[in-house]
Structure 1
Amino acid sequence: MSSHGISAKESMIEIRRFYLALSLLMAVLATIGFWPQYFRPLMSGGVAADTAIHIHAAVYVGWLGLFIFQCLLVAVGNIRLHRRIGNLGFLYGIGVVVMGLSITIARFTAKLNDGGIAAVEHTSLAPATDMILFSVFFAAAAYSRFNPERHKRLMIVAATSLLIPSIARFVGSFELEPAIRHTVRLLLWLSPIYLAFGYDIYSRRLAHPTYIIGAIVITLFNFRSPLQYTDTWVSITHWLASIVD
């Protein structure tokens, strides 16, 4: 085998290991925010939460575990099994969206019952749009499954989009000025994409447009809070309240 062939093979192994390491980093980021209030008490048997919350947590942990396992299969070169499990992963991704929206509606309904329409007029924008963000990138990843270069990058962006609840809780546990807190939250949220972007530059001398688009979209979503005070969003919450009431 030529030295060029060996170099290409070693490069592919390195790239696959990088994506596995990145998936593990995302697992850490997904855990840190929920560790004090959920995972640590859960391990000691002291967590008090509704059954729906436990199911929600189990679904998301399962998704993260499946994501890491898929990266591991690619890292060890078992592409055939990776693709077979990918069919299950697509269905699981739909389940993640359904569960996320179900929890959002359940919390919306609870607030509505406790405080009336005034209590929900300016709520639920973030969790609802989080699911939209994930759905778009996940659907694009599924559609691009026969284009490995685009598929894996879209999966990274989709998985990154789910990190915001944990990142927000983690950064919110520190006493920071609002502007600093907002900046730190965005930097941590986007850190997997930044690392993947940098690795693209290092390994390919060119950044894939998927990361650029993903970073821009997620950044824009980070500034969505004022939208919940618009007449349009208030109208949406009134419509939703008329359905769930």
Structure 2
Amino acid sequence: MSNVKAQSPSSARRVRKAVLPAAGLGTRFLPATKAQPKEMLPVVDKPLIQYVAEECVASGIEHIIIVTGKGKNAIEDHFDLAPSLERFLEEKGKKDQAEMVRRISNMVRVSYTRQKEPLGLGHAVLVARDLVGDEPFAVLLGDVIIPGNRPATKQLVEVYEATGIGAIAVEQVPREKTHLYGVVDGEPKPQAPWGQRLLRIRDLVEKPKPGKAPSNLAITGRYVLPPDIFDCLARTKPGSGNEIQLTDALRILA
């Protein structure tokens, strides 16, 4: 875990909302994503985004805001009520499956907003500003699963609620792959109960070449951020890929 500056601990509020950016075209997964969102690709018996939503619920999130785009209707359908399907399953004696379908639509409050242009992750988060309001929130990439005994988002929420400081999950990656990630420059900030796993962020760089990367600590698609990030995003100019990068806005916040 790494952290970024926010308000003082005494003014920190509970993290109730999460933004799931899911408007990308999924070109890395073609042809599988030609006719379906990458977030709906199955992993065993569930689509990717359901695992992410379940992580939110396990982390105490009460309201999920999914940022969608053109061709993403399947995501909304997945989390919607399906009374005809439930009725069909019950008539066939498949009550367990009917209950499973019912749980998907009832597990958490879900809202949607549209990113009308592919202007980057930072822009996708900014699009959710009105639904998030003036409170801290989590960001989880809708196509990234992080396995573990304790949800990554829950750990970040605990850091924020204890310290009042935004938190980002990072992992070590091979140096030759830093150009694929946002990378942080951090220094140890040991603090109970997280110990050496907690770092203070000094800087962040979006997709640096291996020779220019400040470290091999890559951002892994999980964030808990203060509402101040929205003003930072509004001031952020297009960067890598001519997109508004969340990493660049985090540099302002840090």
What TM-score results when the alignment is normalised by the length of structure 1?
Answer: 0.26
Higher strand fraction (1 or 2): 2
Pick 1 or 2: higher relative contact order, CA cutoff 8 A, min separation 6.
2
Q: Which has the larger radius of gyration?
A: 1
